[in-house]
Structure 1
Amino acid sequence: MKYSTKLSDALHILAFLSMGASQRITSAKIAESVKTNPAYIRQLMSALKKAGLLTNTQGQANAELTRNPCEITVLDVYRAIEGTKPLLHWDIDTNPDCGVGIYVQLSIADMYQEIQQAAEQKMQVITLQDILDLYHKKLEALPPEQ
């Protein structure tokens, strides 16, 4: 099963735009960094624009963040990209005649809801600026090039 990377790709886009704020950055340039195709990047950027996290003009390399990176949370981006889609999914295709199958899955669903709430609480306090700050720390920790 392939896992969705939409959230991390959307955060990548926002970080890329934030770090290159004075430059004209194309979807092709971002796609090169994300290692994907420009159409996928434009799709994510469209969702981010609809959510009010960035502004751009179709066909032009002029995308910009609408807020300061310290005002954009991971939860903002998650909701822009995934909507209300849960992080974890329980199996709804179990044998309806098996009490274990039904009630174990319903119990799992309750636990997943708790996990979802905890994750969203944490995503609400992590900002794009936090990600950028950690990025810079990681760069500083690299050994000097010879």
Structure 2
Amino acid sequence: MRRSGRLSVALHVLMHMAERPEDPMTSERMARWADGNPVVIRRSFAGLREAGILSSSRGHGGGWVLAKPLDQITLADVQQALDEPIVALAEPSDNPQCLVERAVNSELHDVFREAERLVLERMRRVTLADLRARFDGRNLSDFIHPGDPA
């Protein structure tokens, strides 16, 4: 199973945002943390805004802020807001006349759907506060990313 890069990036950025919840973050700053592109951040995070996880404001002093406490946001909430597949399936070969291929594809489909159900079930039980607790006691501001203002 391949892990979603967008989900990892979003969780990474959300953890940094939680360190300074009153400080609106620009997509440029978030992109530096994620080693990515601000346009990609804005597109990806639009789903987080629509889901009520983030809010954003434009103009001088604007940016993105958390709209909910960390204990009210699950990994599943973020994944679903990004509209990311949980389990990336390989494209089945395209020969529907072959009985063997149909049987293999059907079984793989069932296996991956079950894996997706189990992963989503677990993701619903983990909040961003749980994730934050993994590095509690450390100030994330001490871990400055290249290009991030001090």
What CA distance in whole angstroms lies between the structure 1 residues aligned with 2:45 and 2:58? 10
Query: Given that residues 71 and 129 in structure 2 are in contact (C-alpha distance below 8 angstroms), is that contact kept between their aligned partners in structure 1?
Result: yes
Letter of the structure 1 residue corresponding to residue 66 of structure 2: L
Gaps of 5+ in 1: 140-146
**CA gap 1:61/1:13 in 2 versus in 1, 3 angstroms:** farther
**CA gap 1:91/1:137 in 2 versus in 1, 3 angstroms:** farther
Quote the sequence identity (%): 26
Task: Give the Å deviation of 1:135.
Answer: 2.9
Task: Give the Å deviation of 1:103.
Answer: 0.7
What CA distance in whole angstroms lies between the structure 1 residues aligned with 2:3 and 2:131? 21
Task: Give the Å deviation of 1:61.
Answer: 2.9
Instruction: Give the structure 1 partner of residue 108 of structure 2.
Output: 108
Instruction: Give the structure 2 partner of residue 24 of structure 1.
Output: 24
Compare the two structures and name the one with the higher helix fraction: 1
The 5-angstrom pairing of residues 1-146 of structure 1 reads 4-59=4-59, 60-82=61-83, 85-136=85-136
TM norm structure 1: 0.82
**CA gap 1:138/1:89 in 2 versus in 1, 3 angstroms:** farther
What CA distance in whole angstroms lies between the structure 1 residues aligned with 2:7 and 2:95? 33
- Deviating more after overlay: 129-138 vs 45-54: 129-138
Q: What is the CA RMSD across the aligned residues, in angstroms?
A: 2.2
Query: Given that residues 31 and 37 in structure 1 are in contact (C-alpha distance below 8 angstroms), is that contact kept between their aligned partners in structure 2?
Result: yes
Query: Given that residues 86 and 120 in structure 2 are in contact (C-alpha distance below 8 angstroms), is that contact kept between their aligned partners in structure 1?
Result: no
What CA distance in whole angstroms lies between the structure 1 residues aligned with 2:134 and 2:3? 24
What CA distance in whole angstroms lies between the structure 1 residues aligned with 2:137 and 2:107? 41
What CA distance in whole angstroms lies between the structure 2 residues aligned with 1:3 and 1:72? 20
**CA gap 1:3/1:123 in 2 versus in 1, 3 angstroms:** closer
4+ residue runs over 6 A deviation: none
- Deviating more after overlay: 91-100 vs 115-124: 91-100
What CA distance in whole angstroms lies between the structure 1 residues aligned with 2:44 and 2:86? 18
Look up the SS of the partner of 1:63 in the other structure: strand
Deviations 1:93-132 (A, max 9, x none): 3322221111111001001111010000000001111111
TM norm structure 2: 0.80
- Deviating more after overlay: 53-62 vs 107-116: 53-62
What CA distance in whole angstroms lies between the structure 1 residues aligned with 2:121 and 2:133? 20
Gaps of 5+ in 2: 140-150
- Deviating more after overlay: 16-25 vs 29-38: 16-25
